[in-house]
Amino acid sequence: MLLSFMIPQEQKTPGAWEVPAEYQKKTNPYSEYTKDMERTGKMLWAKHCKSCHGNKGEGDGPKARQLETHAGDFTIEGFQSQSDGAIYYKSFVGRDEMPNYEKKIPDEEERWALIYYMRAMKK
């Protein structure tokens, strides 16, 4: 859960996501986080995510203040406790200000590498 005191006053707290059951149950098919996956995840993060979500996933990227809702903090327990499938859905299907990335990142292995990278952001 994102704590409201962590969100700039001019931004709204994001509403709850409705993640379809098929995604909730989805699991990462890659059992090991390899150095190649780490490099891929880091590269994809820098290209697609960092501008809003920040270097460390704290929702403090240079474009974050332009959003109506807070970009989220991926380092906190509320984010990290989600299923892989929920993170997958939110990251690639998106909603509202979170764009759809299914066409921008079409490769399944790259998508899972990015999720592994986000999982590594926990405090």
Domains of the chain, each with CATH number or no CATH: 21-119 (1.10.760.10)
**Under 8 Å between Cβ of 44 and 109:** no
CA 116 vs. chain centroid, Å, equals 10
Taking 50 as the threshold, does the pLDDT of residue 2 lie above it?
A: no
d(CA 84, CA 116): 9
Neighbours of 5 (CB within 10 A): 6
Per residue in 10-45, pLDDT (tens digit) is 777 778 899 999 999 999 999 888 999 999 999 999
Q: Under 8 Å CB-to-CB from 63, ≥6 apart: which residues?
A: 51, 52
Does 122 or 112 have the greater pLDDT score? Answer: 112
Please give the pLDDT value at position 9. 54
Per residue in 55-114, pLDDT (tens digit) is 999 999 999 989 999 999 999 999 999 999 999 999 999 999 999 999 999 999 999 999
pLDDT (mean) for 44-50: 98
